[in-house]
Amino acid sequence: MSDNPFRIQRQPRDLRKQPAAIQAVDTKIQVNMSKIRHKIAVLSGKGGVGKSFVSSNIALAIASTGKRVGVVDVDFHGPSIPKMMGIRGKSLYADEQGIIPVDGPFGVKVVSMDFLLPKDDTPVVWRGAIKHTAIKQFLGDVKWGELDYLFVDMPPGTGDEALSIMQLLSNPTGFIIVTIPSEVSTLAVKKSISFAKTTNTKILGIIENMSYYECGNERHYIFGKEKGRKMAEEMGVPLLGEVPIDERIAESNDLGEPFFLRYPDSETAKAFLKIAESVLNIVEKGG
């Protein structure tokens, strides 16, 4: 692995070799990120499997236990965290010290491109270099303060963008990989696992979303049964949880109310509380 060009450097980079302006930005990011105890990137090899839904609900579930939590939505083309957290329409403000994140439920601090878009139908047609600058600002210029957890809702896929985010998050704690139990998604997970290895970042576990649909007392396995569990075993990574399908999620999103708060007794909300417990166990007690 030593000749791997993408490998994340665990040691602080030798900043003396960089031009002063870049050096200042990098130092700022490192200082800002060092105040956050655990930085966790939520990843999926495939789009639309519920990565943003999972990121926002784990953040809320962990914050509901009293931890200080932040979420950074770096999906510039489809930023959906504010909608899922019920804070759409709020704006980001800045003062001399930096950008002030929006306060969500349980005091979760949120930064998303969505807060900067003037209209619902404004497309974000940014090129790579500008996106890279924006990501740097989200990490370095936002006043995150001292946090226990920062969840990063990654853009779909495992390309360049994902790679540069991992390089900027100095010392990330690990990845959470989201999948659904279908064959195509299983392949995508394998891709995510090799991406994690490439970036030399720990995989905290897999979450299987849309595992089943409960109707009366019957469970319907719409996309297949227990594939997440089998795959996690095969890959030697923990299965953090199985999240059922709930048709009320769309309704909550439309109403601008977080599902986790609107339906706290649902199996889906309870699944996130269990997942939060597993994540806290793995990260803080080492398993």
Task: Give 206: exposed, middle or buried? Use CB within 10 Å, 0-12, 13-18, 19+.
Answer: buried
Q: Give the DSSP per-residue string, 59-122.
A: HHHHHTTT--EEEEE--SSS--HHHHHT-TT---EEETTEEEPEE-GGG-EEEEGGGG-SSTT-
Site for ligand ATP in 65-84 (CB under 6 A): 75, 78, 80
Binding-residue pattern over the window 27 to 46 for ligand ATP, x denoting contact by CB under 6 A: -----------------x--
Identity of the residue, 75 or 161, whose beta carbon is nearer to ligand ATP in the bound complex: 75
Q: Is 159 in the site for ligand ATP (CB under 6 A)?
A: no
Instruction: Provide the mask over 197-226, with x wherever binding to ligand ATP is found by CB under 6 A and - wherever it is not.
Output: ------------xx----------------
Residue in the structure block whose two tokens are 């996106």: 131
The answer to whether 61 contacts ligand ATP (rule: CB under 6 A) is no
Chain Cα centroid distance, residue 73: 7
Shortest Cβ 272–ligand ATP spacing (Å): 10
Residues facing residue 45 across a β-bridge: none
DSSP class of residue 248 equals H
Here the contacts of 9-17 (C-beta below 8 Å, separation 24 or greater) are 10/171, 10/200, 12/170
Q: Which of ligand ATP, Mg ion, none is residue 273 near (CB under 5 to 8 Å by kind)? A: none
Closest CB 267 distance from ligand ATP, rounded Å: 10
Interface ranges with ligand ATP (CB under 6 A): 44, 47-53, 75, 78, 80, 156, 209-210, 243, 245-246, 249-250, 253, 268
